Structure 1
Amino acid sequence: MRYTYPALIVKDEWVGYCTYLNDFDIVTQGDDVQDAIEMGADALWLMIDDYLQLDKPLPKPTYPEEHEGLLVAISVDVDTERGLLTTKMAAGLLGVSDARVRQMVCSGQLASKKIGRDNYVYLWSIRERQANPPKPGRPRKKAASAPAKGTEAV
């Protein structure tokens, strides 16, 4: 799906050109105007992808009436398989480390999809774990079966 948001490009004597995406409260920079627009498009794509992955509502585009600098509309295509999160994003939602999420994926405690070399965790799997958290402590070992009567260990 294509998303379009306004960006304000302002010349900065220290870093070149700054790109302000006020609807997402982020700033990026580039060496020239074209580079600043490309960097803004990359940042916009990442922000929209994160919002969609987390099922957060996207902010409405707001075009300022008064501004300094160059006002441009940046348009990006974001085709995300919704409900797939990186292990780092899953760790943030579950309040555990990235390594722990990878352990949970390997043990089958979280449903995931492998894309390339990376695992992506399904959002529904995280929500299910949040709704049914494990009991605290280590699981009990299963009781060893007793030998049958009349037989003795030698």
Structure 2
Amino acid sequence: MRKAYPIIISKVDDTVPFSVYIPDFDAYTQGEDIADAINMARDLIGLTGLAMTEDFHQEIPLPMSVKFKLKETDTLTLVDIDFDKYKRENDRTPVKKTLTIPSYLNTLGVEKKINFSALLAQALRETLKV
């Protein structure tokens, strides 16, 4: 379910380069530059939407469901998000896997106190470039 939400980007001061307000979620974030502000807004929308559905059993608000006013210095843009894809990409639920390795590697790994699960996860992230 891909949706596009309005966000309001404001230049506050030099200590916080860009402030972002997401009216439909009544939420704020910030970014170092415009691209970072958009990415931070997308992440906040994703996290908030998932928390609403999974933790609080609420529906995710529809885009542009809230009226808002812009100041003259504000920039209005849209941020798209696919909640299903966001959930898949951020799901950290452990999954048990059975694998086979040569006995000597197992022996050496145990002697060196290697965390096999962490090593496999690291190798998969590197191989999959995620």
Question: How far apart, in 2, do the equivalents of 1:28 and 1:73 lie?
Answer: 15
The match for 1:77 among 77, 82, 97 is 82
Question: How far apart, in 1, do the equivalents of 2:51 and 2:34 lie?
Answer: 26
Structure-to-structure mapping, 1:22-41, within 5 angstroms? 22-41=23-42
Determine what percentage of the aligned residue pairs are the same residue: 31
TM-score, normalised relative to structure 2: 0.57
Matched residues, number? 87
Which residue does 2:109 correspond to in 1?
A: none
Structure-to-structure mapping, 1:45-84, within 5 angstroms? 45-53=46-54, 54-62=56-64, 64=67, 66-68=69-71, 69-79=74-84, 80=87
1:5 positional shift:
1.1
- Looking at secondary structure, tell me which structure has more helix per residue: 2
1:61 positional shift:
2.4
Structure label with greater radius of gyration: 1
- Looking at secondary structure, tell me which structure has more strand per residue: 1
Structure-to-structure mapping, 1:1-154, within 5 angstroms? 1-13=1-13, 14-53=15-54, 54-62=56-64, 64=67, 66-68=69-71, 69-79=74-84, 80=87, 115-116=93-94
Which residue does 1:134 correspond to in 2?
A: none
Runs (4 or more) in structure 1 with deviation over 4 Å come to 63-66
Cα RMSD over matched residues? Answer: 2.6
